[in-house]
Amino acid sequence: MQAHEIMIRQVYKVKEYDLVRDVVEKFIKYQISGLPIVNDRNEIVAYISDGDIMRFIGKHKDLVINNFYYMAVLKGDYDKFDERASKLLESNVMDIAKRKVITVAWNEEVENVAALLGEKHIKKLPVERHGVLVGIISRGDVIRNVFKEKNKDNLC
């Protein structure tokens, strides 16, 4: 079984010039916790998760992400949680996103996808073909597809 056989083809994503506000709106609307960030050619350039947002709205002294101090990104000393959160919403997604994105090829074997999800402790993997985003695979997608035929009569 290959990645393209189990991947979700309708991928929610944001563009590299979008704001964190756009990300949060999609997180809430679609009940998701991470999004690939693409350029105008639909190439994956970064990934943003709810964990990235938590790192910025939490109170830190010397947090560095993507070689920027979070205070430099937020442009000021915001002691109040609400002020930090509000300022973050107006920041560019690339200011806090992870630029080193782990992806899988569309024809990768599912057992390799499962190993990567487990070893790297990540929840979702963007799937690409010829450098372009074509899908996404979560841990749940792997479990559902691997075990549905093997044990469909024995599982709840």
pLDDT digits (tens, 9 = 90+) for 58-92: 765 545 454 444 444 444 554 577 777 888 898 99
As a whole-number percent, the residues of the chain with pLDDT over 70 amount to: 81
CA distance 3 to 16: 25
End-to-end, the C-alpha distance of the chain in Å comes to 23
Mean pLDDT of 39-61: 85
Domain residue limits, the chain: 3-150
pTM for the full predicted model: 0.79
Domain spanning 3-150: which CATH class is it, in words?
Answer: alpha beta
Helices (H), the chain: 3-6, 20-30, 50-57, 70-74, 81-89, 110-119, 139-150
